[in-house]
Structure 1
Amino acid sequence: MSDESALLREPWVDFDRQREAAKFGIWVFLGSETLFFGALLLTYTICRVEHPEAFAAAGRETNIWYGTINTAILLTSSLFMAMASQAAESGARLRRLVLGCLLITAMLGLAFVILKGFEYKEDIDKHLVPGASFALPQAGAQLFYGLYWLVTGVHAIHLSIGMVLVSRLFWMFYQRKLRIRENPELEVTALYWHLVDIVWIILYPLIYLPGRAS
């Protein structure tokens, strides 16, 4: 069985058409994800305009070190994902580099999730979960943290899905069950991973910088 035949899926009879369809499909999906996160960001903007002082007070309670380190982790993971995509253009010649970059990308994603877990534990210990025992007196602060838990939780789910996709690609390439060069699954996964990172880059200043600029 040829490499292209191993990659070919129904109903496609031509690899190039399947590849273009995969790329088109992921762009449609990314567009829908952009609309979803855009709606959350619009909600955040409206609430922040209505409660600027409460959002500033709540923002100062976030742990900027966790947020900054996690931002650096995701930016580094995007670099290695881009390196994997570039190395894949050379095919089997740079197979080890592709495998190494995918493995590092997945491990960095895992580091992000673990660090986020420690941050969540700190937030819970500080009673920064909206509810009757919420620590901050401002009513708008609960809105901030409600959005904080929602957007960061949804982002963590997306990142976890990305880790599964990257790990699967690594394993399939390692076992030589998929060819590396011009692999649509690698291209689609890379686009998804970069979207998740871009979303976090937007969330970082909205979550961790309010109340700290002055």
Structure 2
Amino acid sequence: MIRSDEKPAEPFVAWAQQRDAARLGMWLFLASEAMMFGSLIMVAWLLRLQHPDGVAEAVAGLHHWLASGNTFLLLTSSLLMTLAMAAGEPRRVRHWLLGASLLGVLFLGCKGIEYGLEIQEGVLPGFAQASHWQVPSAQLFMNLYFIATALHGVHVLVAVGLALWLYRSLGRGTLAAHQADTRLEMISLYWHLVDGIWIVLFPTLYLVGR
């Protein structure tokens, strides 16, 4: 059973007040994350405008079918997080959290396969062969691609870790009902941000200019 006797943390006098403060803090954090990725996306589009040939060469070699599958996985995981928010009963919440976490792990696994293929092809930064590119600016785009997708992968890993932590806490009954609801809402917001970022990254890096 989830405990219900805990009181709000100081200086809050009501759970609603604490939850509103948590929401405000999370939205400010999400805004900072969106600005960070927004800067990378703006650089990607600027690079396309200044070096269209190099970007086109780099994009043509990316594994967009793997990325498309990953997009499906991440969209489905966001659906499961939404179902977790609507579930209400802790057992059902844990069920959807576990499903979303597994899809997040599959996303990371597919991304690892994609990186492996790019290493074999000699195009991933750190393993790239300069002679591979006919246009030098293609390597610039690949550097940006690796930074953006690796950073996003770290965010997916964090989201999976948070979801599994809540899954475990709900199973052990260590959270009050208000605490569980607040943590579920915050994790869901973060998960949807990670999903939304990928929705923009996917066409920016894989599709435009192909």
* Residues 1-214 of structure 1 aligned to structure 2 (within 5 Å): 3=4, 5=6, 8-88=8-88, 94-130=89-125, 133-134=129-130, 135-180=132-177, 183-212=181-210
CA contact (8 A) 2:3 2:175 kept: no
Equivalent residues, number: 206
Distance 2:177 2:81 in 1: 14
Residues 22/201 of structure 1: CA separation in 2 closer, same or farther (3 Å cut)? same
Q: Percent identity?
A: 37
Deviations 1:2-38 (A, max 9, x none): 52516x3344342211111001100000111111111
Residues 20/49 of structure 1: CA separation in 2 closer, same or farther (3 Å cut)? same
- Which residue type is aligned with residue 157 of structure 2? S
Query: Mind listing any 5+ residue stretches in structure 2 that lack a counterpart?
Result: none
CA contact (8 A) 1:102 1:167 kept: yes
CA contact (8 A) 1:60 1:210 kept: no
CA contact (8 A) 1:55 1:210 kept: no
CA contact (8 A) 1:30 1:192 kept: yes
Distance 2:125 2:109 in 1: 22
Taking only aligned residues, the RMSD between alpha carbons, in angstroms, comes to: 1.8
SS class of match (1:20): helix
Distance 1:202 1:62 in 2: 16
Deviations 1:38-72 (A, max 9, x none): 11111111111001121111111000111000000
Deviations 1:103-148 (A, max 9, x none): 0011110000011011001111111124672322211101110010
Distance 1:211 1:147 in 2: 15
- Which residue type is aligned with residue 204 of structure 2? L
CA contact (8 A) 2:115 2:124 kept: no
- Which residue type is aligned with residue 203 of structure 1? L
TM-score, length-scaled by structure 2: 0.92
Deviations 1:129-174 (A, max 9, x none): 2467232221110111001000001000011010110000100111
Q: How far is the alpha carbon of 1:96 from its aligned partner?
A: 2.4
Distance 1:121 1:2 in 2: 46
- Which residue type is aligned with residue 119 of structure 2? I
Query: Mind listing any 5+ residue stretches in structure 1 that lack a counterpart?
Result: 89-93
Deviations 1:57-106 (A, max 9, x none): 11110001110000000000000000000113xxxxx3322111000011
TM-score, length-scaled by structure 1: 0.90
